[in-house]
Amino acid sequence: MTDLYRMLPEEMEDLVLELGQPRFRADQILYALYYKFPKDLSEIKQLPLEFREKLTEKGFTIGSTKEAHRVESEDGETTKLLLNLNDETPVESVLMQYKSKKMFGHPRSTICVSTQVGCAMGCVFCATGQMGFERNMKAEEIVGQVIHFAKILLEKGQHVTNIVFMGMGEPLANYSETIRAIQLLTHPRGFGIGQRHITVSTIGIVSAIEKLADEKMQIGLAISLHAPNDKLRQRLVPTAGPDSVKELIKSGKNYFLTTGRRVTFEYALIEGVNDMPEIAEELALLLKDNGSHINLIPLNPTAGDFNRPARKNVIEFERILYNGGINCTVRVEKGTEISAACGQLRTDILEKYNNTIN
């Protein structure tokens, strides 16, 4: 079985020609896939019945995600979905919306997609990292998450404005499928979102970051740093190498020089672990004149033993970085109460969902 959402426009053209159809059939299929969101081939009425039947006979299908559960935040601005893939494997995706500054403007609608079922990186403060690794997701399964939310937004007269690869899993550990998904989502004959509206977040696979830079795309890159020295970073990220901090700073700079896109270093603030003033001073010294951006993320509640720092500690950490000449912001978290924020995906909603069906 082959999901049509896996096929790049050029591959779609090859398919229709191979099946004896005129080239324009490819555009009919692509338009339906990315603007009408059909559930199956029978809904693409532009195609002759005989051709639809031939596609079905050849094992082509549409869509690889089915919604199993949905939960919304109290303010209605965050929606988390539990989606079942074709093999019934569950994954989570999140829609975060931000009100437009214009009176009647559309909200900024950001989709947070997963690239793996679980994660092998084992970050000690992350719910996904603690559940272990099951498998990589295919490009069509990644795209399917965006399509699912795009259909929900279409019903509201809205559309997807941004996509972040910050859900379950490490995108660069599933490199080829992540790149194919980005190509499908940004292709002008595919989903058509601008490359600058996509950000890939990585815990820091240096060789993959270098490879991504060589792709020369205009996507944003966010590197999860979490510590200014290797001893502390290895405590938080067990898979980190002995020189990971220096290597990540170097790879981030190379990404900027190659693509022209400023790199963001993500930093999860954990009470009593990496939120102290002396740690902030060390981080400021490390990143001085680097030209990058630091995104501070006060730890979100997970099943672990770590705690979120007090607000005053977050402000002080930010102040020290700012005074050290570091461009930094504190992330505005959304969906914490429904376990949809950074580091919270998968475990909580699965427990609730399983309880409802047992």
* Close Cβ partners of 259 (under 8 Å, ≥ 6 residues apart): 213, 216, 217, 218
Active site residues: 92, 342
Residues 227-268: tens digit of each pLDDT: 999 999 999 999 999 999 999 999 999 999 999 999 999 999
Architecture (CATH level 2) of domain 65-357: Alpha-Beta Barrel (3.20)
Distance CA 304, CA 26 (A): 49
Average pLDDT, integer, range 194-209: 97
Residues 312-328: tens digit of each pLDDT: 999 999 999 999 999 99
Structure tokens at 80: 């988390």
Residue 355 has pLDDT above 60, yes or no: no
Mean pLDDT of the chain: 91
Average pLDDT, integer, range 260-277: 96
Helix axes 206-214, 175-186, angle to 10 degrees: 30
Q: Where are the domains of the chain?
A: 2-61, 65-357
Distance CA 85, CA 66 (A): 6
Residue 333 has pLDDT above 80, yes or no: no
Q: Could you write out the DSSP letters of every residue in 117-141?
A: EE-SS--TT-HHHHS-EEEEPPHHH
Residues 130-171: tens digit of each pLDDT: 788 999 999 999 999 999 999 999 999 999 999 999 999 999
| Phi-psi label, residue 220: left if phi above 0, alpha if psi -120 to 50, beta otherwise | beta
Per-residue pLDDT band at 101 (split at 50, 70, 90): confident
* pTM of the full structure: 0.92
Architecture (CATH level 2) of domain 2-61: Orthogonal Bundle (1.10)
The pLDDT of residue 132 is 87
Residues 118-136: tens digit of each pLDDT: 999 999 888 888 788 999 9
Average pLDDT, integer, range 18-31: 98
Average the pLDDT over each of 89-103, 172-186, 194-208, 333-347 and give the range with the smallest value: 333-347
Q: Which residue has the higher pLDDT, 279 or 349?
A: 279
